[in-house]
Chain A
Amino acid sequence: MPSEFFIPDPEGQVPSAEGYFGAFGGKFIPEALVAAVDEVAVEYDKAKSDPEFARELDDLLVHYTGRPSSLTEVRRFAEHAGGARVFLKREDLNHTGSHKINNVLGQALLTKRMGKTRVIAETGAGQHGVATATACALFGLECTIYMGEIDTERQALNVARMRMLGAEVIAVKSGSRTLKDAINEAFRDWVANVDRTHYLFGTVAGPHPFPAMVRDFHRVIGVEARRQILERAGRLPDAAVACVGGGSNAIGLFHAFIPDADVRLIGCEPAGHGIETGEHAATLTAGEPGILHGSRSYVLQDDEGQITEPYSISAGLDYPGIGPEHAYLKDSGRGEYRAVTDDAAMQALRLLSRTEGIIPAIESAHALAGALEVGRELGPDGLIVINLSGRGDKDMDTAARYFGLYDTEADAVVEADADSDRAEIEGDAK
């Protein structure tokens, strides 16, 4: 059982030895980091073939994270998705509240094997930061988290969680003050402190081997989901749907389904205020090939290679890059990517809350909104698995402001609104 979690299908053959997924990937890093990144690759290769590593990781996944995560059928929500059957892969039920813990525990074990005592990480929504701070507490590692200043404000709950867990949280004030800038600052730290520090990268981007390694640690999501849906529905789904920022939860769900040619792999990017407004973070929809944070992929950039500032209501998706394997899946046609606006995501967040009693993260709500469209396209015979990558506690301030749920506004707005919502929900279902 353990090895299937992180040894990819040998028929996959990506990435190449140089870290390329077709034309994307590679290792565009300063010379000062070459030795450290190579060390990660060597240690990871050793770990993959070491039964003791597999045993330790598996033990943590089962007894600490709480895997396997549930697959929940959401019948009332599905009424709004054209009547298709819809299942949620419940990564929100993992310890720490998102899929991020899968990768973090793997890399934390690797950090110990490399003899490093300090971990740094970037975080957008704070989910990767919380997971990293958690693993550092568990393993007794020093922990510094870089987070854009805007994100420390909109995800204040997660900042408090990280500090409670003993991590130092540094608010990054450069550039757009979001995830991209947090990664820049983490790289600057790593270059200066690489001897004793591991950069516990949180998504399937960055230089080789991170895109492949982070994917492998999340591959368990799709391995479990594939087995669970076969048991529950008796067949493979028509579509596997996930949100994509950097792309870690999406690749985690997709990877086990790649050989199943009839399963559509659908990634939902943040369209923010709408692609046409320029205020979005839909990298595969509106970006061009380029290099950001150590690998070649699609990038939001101007005609002279300056990275443009992304926007999304979701801190975890507010990123102008994307993992190289998604670029490869897009160009090969195996993956489909569509863009979901802030408004559509927020409506889906409220819909799931009120039809199923599950409050999703705003990130995951982009996948829910995309799946509503896909379900209507598929019709009543459709079968969809959505990765519910995280829970929404951290987003309650944003959601309360968006929907006017705080007391001063709520008295006036919410009660009147609730009736019309119910009417709208009932109406949509018919």
Chain B
Amino acid sequence: MSGNVQLLSDTLAAAKSEERSALIAYLPAGFPTVDGGIAAVKAVFEGGADVVEVGLPHSDPVLDGPVIQTADDIALRGGVRIADVMRTVREAYEATGRPVLVMTYWNPIDRYGVERFTAELAEAGGAGCILPDLPVQESALWREHAEKHGLATVFVVAPSSKDARLADITAAGSGFVYAASLMGVTGTRESVGAQAQDLVRRTKATTDLPVCVGLGVSNAVQAREVAGFADGVIVGSAFVKRMLDAPDEAAGLDAVRALAADLAEGVRGTE
């Protein structure tokens, strides 16, 4: 079975045709449990997320702030495995028919085997991967297998990326481009960096791919602001924090569903 890169592109195009940004949510697999994590992904889809990124928890999440570090720790202590990540992708996709990506550091895929990982992710109905510590110049092997299995390769660009490099990155990517709104690790911020709009403009000058903005976005006001210049708004830590703060799993699911609904209004400019 081929992966769902086309579904991802179609979903982002559909949002554009509605003259709005897409809402992309991030949640780690296995958090708070594997089944609880699957329920959380379904809940944010119910709330109005267009796309979900499922995180593969890692022992050394160097690009994540304390909130996602805590969730990764809980998931790893619970014994989460790559098979559980695949099951999360499969059940979320089968229940909703919407695009599900995996976000992971590179070493787990390197160790598991690129062919094995891409084949299993495609078979589970996954749409692609975001690999934040795999720079474009080291990505040839990954891209060969991702293309073979119909999976998107979503690269991250940063405010520090020079224009020539942006062109190299976007030429190699597919699905969309993940524009980091600021220089820093994941986590909620008071305001989205002013650098974000400039980065989106510079990135769009190099590609027709949708450009979605992540890092620091946590509420509907920020989502609306970002939606004014980006094709998609990516929210991660704010969802994870709602789960961490909830007194029990049911309350956590209600909280992420409600946040997704809020943000969905934000990206439609109706907040």
Known: A18-B137, A188-B185, A306-B108. A31 touches B60 (CB 8 A): no
Report if A391 contacts B (CB, 8 A).
Answer: no
Asked if A31 contacts B156 (CB within 8 A), the reply is yes
Q: Which residues of A21-47 are within 8 A (CB) of B?
A: 26-36
Q: Which residues of B168-192 are within 8 A (CB) of A?
A: 169, 180, 183-185
**A interface residues with partner B (beta carbon < 8 Å):** 18, 26-36, 174-175, 180, 184, 187-188, 191-195, 288, 290-293, 296, 299, 301, 303-308
CB-CB < 8 A to B78: which residues of A? Answer: none
Asked if B135 contacts A307 (CB within 8 A), the reply is no
Asked if B60 contacts A29 (CB within 8 A), the reply is no
Q: Kindly report which residue of chain B lies nearest to residue A181, judged by CB atoms.
A: B60
15 A-B pairs whose Cβ atoms sit less than 8 Å apart in the complex: A29-B135, A30-B62, A31-B157, A32-B156, A33-B160, A35-B161, A180-B60, A188-B63, A192-B183, A193-B183, A194-B160, A292-B60, A293-B62, A296-B110, A307-B107
Report if B65 contacts A (CB, 8 A).
Answer: yes
Q: How far is the CA of A194 from the CA of B82 in the complex (A)?
A: 33
Q: Kindly report which residue of chain B lies nearest to residue A37, judged by CB atoms.
A: B135
Asked if B137 contacts A27 (CB within 8 A), the reply is yes
Known: A301-B107, A305-B110. A35 touches B180 (CB 8 A): no
Asked if B65 contacts A35 (CB within 8 A), the reply is no
Q: How far is the CA of A193 from the CA of B184 in the complex (A)?
A: 8
Residue from B62, B106, B112, B132 whose CB has the most chain A CB atoms within 10 Å? B62
Asked if B81 contacts A304 (CB within 8 A), the reply is yes
Asked if B184 contacts A191 (CB within 8 A), the reply is yes
Asked if A306 contacts B138 (CB within 8 A), the reply is no
Q: How far is the CA of A192 from the CA of B65 in the complex (A)?
A: 11
Closest Cβ of chain B: how far from A288's Cβ, in Å?
7
Partner of A194, one of B65, B133, B183, B185: B183
Q: How far is the CA of A415 from the CA of B163 in the complex (A)?
A: 71
Closest Cβ of chain B: how far from A120's Cβ, in Å?
14
Closest Cβ of chain A: how far from B91's Cβ, in Å?
20
CB-CB < 8 A to B2: which residues of A? Answer: none
Q: A31-B156, A31-B158, A35-B162 are in contact. List 5 more A-B contacts (CB 8 A).
A: A29-B133, A33-B160, A35-B165, A304-B112, A307-B59
Q: Kindly report which residue of chain A lies nearest to residue B76, judged by CB atoms.
A: A306
Partner of A188, one of B58, B62, B109: B62
CB-CB < 8 A to A292: which residues of B? Answer: 60, 107
Report if B155 contacts A (CB, 8 A).
Answer: yes
Asked if A191 contacts B63 (CB within 8 A), the reply is yes
Known: A188-B185, A303-B111. A31 touches B62 (CB 8 A): no
Interface size on B, as a range, is 35 or more
Asked if B156 contacts A175 (CB within 8 A), the reply is no
Report if B134 contacts A (CB, 8 A).
Answer: yes
Asked if A290 contacts B107 (CB within 8 A), the reply is yes
Q: Encode contact with A along B140-154: 1 for CB under 8 Å, 0 otherwise.
A: 000000000000000
CB-CB < 8 A to A299: which residues of B? Answer: 107
CB-CB < 8 A to B157: which residues of A? Answer: 31
Asked if A306 contacts B58 (CB within 8 A), the reply is yes
Closest Cβ of chain B: how far from A115's Cβ, in Å?
16
Residue from A292, A306, A308 whose CB has the most chain B CB atoms within 10 Å? A306
Partner of B165, one of A34, A192, A194, A290: A34
Report if B218 contacts A (CB, 8 A).
Answer: no
Residue from A175, A187, A191 whose CB has the most chain B CB atoms within 10 Å? A191
Asked if B111 contacts A34 (CB within 8 A), the reply is no
Asked if A30 contacts B60 (CB within 8 A), the reply is no
CB-CB < 8 A to A188: which residues of B? Answer: 62-63, 65, 185
Closest Cβ of chain A: how far from B164's Cβ, in Å?
11
Partner of A290, one of B111, B158, B161, B162: B111
